[in-house]
Amino acid sequence: MNNMRSQDWDPKSAAVLRDQRAAFDEMRERCPVAYSDLLGWSLFRHEDLVRVLNDPVTFSSVVSRNLSVPNGMDPPEHGQYRRLIEPYFAPHAMQAFEPQCRSLAADLVRSLHGRAGLDLMEGFAHPFAVRVQCVFLGWPASMHEPLRAWAQKNHAATFAQDRTAMVEIAREFAGYVTELLQVRRGTGVQGSQDVVGSLISQQVKGRPLNDEEIISILRNWTVGEISTIAAAVGVVAQYLAEHTALQQQLRTQPGALPDAIEEVLRLFGPLLANRRVTTRAVEIGGRSIAAGERISLNWVAANRDGRVFSDPQSFRSDRDASANLLYGAGIHVCPGAPLARMELRVAVQALLDGTAGIEPIAGRAPTSAVYPASGFATLPLHLTFPSPPVVHQR
């Protein structure tokens, strides 16, 4: 008997990878609920994503046997862990962290002086994301390179669907954290000194968090931060390079940055998709989906849905931002959004403050990142720097 199911699309086909955003737009209009062997049922319409996000009973987040805190959990367990992690992203914690982020971003921009024809992903976006995450977690600078390489391997293994490599990569991350936990426990460093030390002293279900849970929390924060922040920085930098009027406006009105960043990232989502699994048979967009089927929520397509956003392909600073699904919605809405918003504001501000101009380079087009990443793989940009003040000798 032939168990092969016919595919509505292939997310890894050359045509899709050439321009994922255009391909998702096309799918949303032609086949908004589409089956592929790689992703199961992809949903592209805003309305369908909102339905799933608001019904965690029918659309479960327990998509794998591996522990994933709190991403891969359903209520009531999800809420127990979610309550525990939210304070790490509270306004006072973000305010306290912002000055370090600022000086890190300014240092990185200064390090770009004299580099004509720079790849902004390699020179700024990736190092910014990795360094900021290390500072946030209280990890040493010696972790920058291992963490960058780890995130890259993680993407490559996901692209190749290489389960053996994925297990090895998970083990590698666990190794980093276990070492840090041993150091903390060995020296009795507990309490709120840093994130790892603080997690050791957290209680869940009436007992301390165990190592497996701490490793999972930190892995989800790291995966959540590194690739999306780097992609988002690249997307915004490229948009400003292409739209000089907006770039000039933001140079003189930094207060407009947060809304502008959110609208640019609606236009070009830095995160492709998240998963669910059906707990009962459902009908979505006229398609019948059985219980136990995989669902993939395509954020990029949903945020460009003309049924919800008028003139969806245009930047509009006066939009009602409440429909923007950049950080999701419902019980799994991104808990790291306050950190992400602060990091992105600080990174873009540093790029604007530290340069006189950001421009594309004629003849050197950016290359797109591919599944499971979004944004750009390489982003050649020309940065001009303000001339140093002339010091007159008397």
> Binding residues for ligand HEM, per CB under 6 A?
70-71, 82, 220-221, 224-225, 228-229, 232, 270-271, 274, 299, 326-328, 332, 334-336, 339-340
- Give 75 or 386: the residue with its C-beta nearer to ligand HEM: 75
Write the DSSP symbol of residue 125: I
- Give 134 or 232: the residue with its C-beta nearer to ligand HEM: 232
Query: DSSP H helical segments within 111-160, as ranges?
Result: 120, 126-137, 144-160
CB of 345 to ligand HEM, least distance (A): 11
Write the DSSP symbol of residue 54: T
CB of 344 to ligand HEM, least distance (A): 6
H/E stretch holding 207? strand 207-208
- Give 28 or 332: the residue with its C-beta nearer to ligand HEM: 332
CB of 332 to ligand HEM, least distance (A): 4
- Give 49 or 282: the residue with its C-beta nearer to ligand HEM: 49
Q: Which two tokens stand for residue 33?
A: 């609920």
- Give 43 or 340: the residue with its C-beta nearer to ligand HEM: 340
Rg from Cα positions in the chain: 22
- Give 62 or 361: the residue with its C-beta nearer to ligand HEM: 62
Write the DSSP symbol of residue 82: H
CB of 52 to ligand HEM, least distance (A): 9
CB of 187 to ligand HEM, least distance (A): 25
Query: Do the beta carbons of residue 133 and residue 222 sit within 8 Å?
Result: yes
H helix and E strand count, the chain: 15, 14
- Give 82 or 153: the residue with its C-beta nearer to ligand HEM: 82
Q: At what angle do helices 163-186 and 144-160 cross, to 10 degrees?
A: 150
Spatial separation of the C-alpha atoms in residues 301 and 374, rounded to whole Å: 12
- Give 28 or 276: the residue with its C-beta nearer to ligand HEM: 276
- Give 236 or 370: the residue with its C-beta nearer to ligand HEM: 236
User: What is the number of the residue whose Cβ is closest to ligand HEM?
Assistant: 336
CB of 189 to ligand HEM, least distance (A): 21
Q: Which residues contact 254 (CB under 8 A, 6 or more apart)?
A: 349, 352
Write the DSSP symbol of residue 389: P
CB of 188 to ligand HEM, least distance (A): 27
Q: Which two tokens stand for residue 149?
A: 């390489």
Write the DSSP symbol of residue 122: I
Q: Which amino acid is at 106?
A: A
Residue written as tokens 């390699």?
122
CA angle 231, 236, 242 (to 5 degrees): 125
- CA distances to 55, 108, 111, 135, 255 from 103, rounded to whole Å, are 42, 9, 12, 12, 19
Q: Is 225 exposed, middle or buried (0-12, 13-18, 19+ CB in 10 A)?
A: buried
CB of 270 to ligand HEM, least distance (A): 5
CB of 87 to ligand HEM, least distance (A): 13
CB of 349 to ligand HEM, least distance (A): 16
- Give 82 or 102: the residue with its C-beta nearer to ligand HEM: 82
